[in-house]
Amino acid sequence: MHELGIMIHIVDQIEEIAKTQHLQHIDTLVLEVGELSGIVPHYLENVYPMAVENSILQHSKLQIHVIPGKVLCRDCHHVFHLVTPQQACPKCQGNNHKLISGQEFNIKEIVAY
Amino acid sequence: MEQLKVIEIQKNVYAKNDEEAAKVRAEVKQKGVYLMNLMSSPGSGKTTTLVRTIQHLKEKLNIGIIEADIDSDVDAKTIATTGAKVIQLHTGGMCHLDANMTRQGLDILETDGLDLVVLENIGNLVCPASFDTGATLNVMILSVPEGDDKPLKYPKMFKVVDVLLINKLDAIGYFDFDLNAVIERAKALNPNIVIFPMSAKLNQGIDAWCDWLEHAVKSSR
């Protein structure tokens, strides 16, 4: 589990943004997590209270938008939902795909004043 | 109470570290230091491999080592027996090194006059793959007892490294480890990966790796 270290890294970045934009209160932090990013949303939620302690995010809510892992089959152009890294195209059984989404791990926005 | 507003950030979580890493990479290049980041699981033989590498190259290159651990200094003590310059970094529970910690390590080590600095990262195949340290070269060790399915389980690590050292080949008779399958799986993820099978314990296969590394260090100048 590596979510705590990463969450602390995110809190540092938000503190910096809060300072430069003179924010006094942050209500919600919104993250985007791709299904193939290696980040487990449930663990992010678990470590959140510890990571935000004594920071500007201390009493804030965490919202996570999960982005599905989608690939395009280069052989038959079928777009499908990728569950594991090695998965054949359900339409033509080909293994030649291009990743469209699912590796994202972004700080999307904050709700603040 | 003031009005809440939505502030769009839309920034990759790793972007800030990537910027710092680019600075570290430029700084070491300017100083003529070749920075190598060594990653693996705990117990893969990182320290043993490093000791062998130092023994092979210490007459040819001035080497410094940054040992990173969550706690303890046992690895730093082992490395110090080789005569190489070594410092110990404690990450205080963090499971990876980032670019800022790497810069601190380089400052403490004092890199003047060094040709090669090796960063021994925390034993972990997950987070170190996501955090660029600013290294010139990324190397990972996979040891035989860990199993030949690791490229399937930790694809990101195999994608980001330049070199894969397959260690503990002396133990291959005791495990169901298919060397060709590992090589095939690693190359499917990363076609440019350079692979050296070895046994650090028996000092086998170290020559080929060290010759390659020496050439990489010297040709980067």
Go through the domains of chain A in sequence order and give each one's CATH number.
3-112 (3.30.2320.80)
A112–B4 C-beta distance less than 8 A: yes
Gap from B12 CA to chain A (nearest CA, Å): 4
| Contacts of residue B72, Cβ cutoff 8 Å, sequence gap at least 6 | none
Go through the domains of chain B in sequence order and give each one's CATH number.
15-219 (3.40.50.300)
> What average pLDDT values come out for chain B (221 residues) when binned by 10 residues?
87 93 96 96 93 96 91 83 90 82 95 96 86 96 95 89 98 96 95 98 97 96 82
A107–B13 C-beta distance less than 8 A: yes
Which candidate, A16, A27, A39, A51, places its Cα nearest to that of B156? A39
Q: What is the pLDDT of residue A1?
A: 58
Residue numbers in A near B3 (CB within 8 A): 113
Residue range A87-105, pLDDT digits in tens: 889 999 988 888 899 989 9
Residue numbers in A near B5 (CB within 8 A): 111-113
A10–B156 C-beta distance less than 8 A: no
Q: What is the pLDDT of residue A85?
A: 66
Distance CA A42, CA A34 (A): 13
A112–B5 C-beta distance less than 8 A: yes
Distance CA B184, CA B211 (A): 24
Distance CA B161, CA B168 (A): 19
Residue numbers in A near B190 (CB within 8 A): none
Closest residue in chain A to residue B91, using alpha carbons only: A5
| Contacts of residue B107, Cβ cutoff 8 Å, sequence gap at least 6 | none
Residue numbers in B near A23 (CB within 8 A): 7
Gap from A91 CA to chain B (nearest CA, Å): 22
The phi-psi region of residue B68 (left if phi > 0; otherwise alpha if psi is between -120 and 50; otherwise beta) is beta
Q: What is the residue type of B87?
A: I
Nearest by CB to residue B13, choosing from A17, A23, A106, is A106
Residue numbers in A near B126 (CB within 8 A): 2, 38
Other C-beta atoms closer than 10 Å to the C-beta of A17 total 17
Residue range A27-74, pLDDT digits in tens: 999 999 999 888 899 999 999 999 999 999 999 999 999 999 999 999
Distance CA B116, CA B105 (A): 14
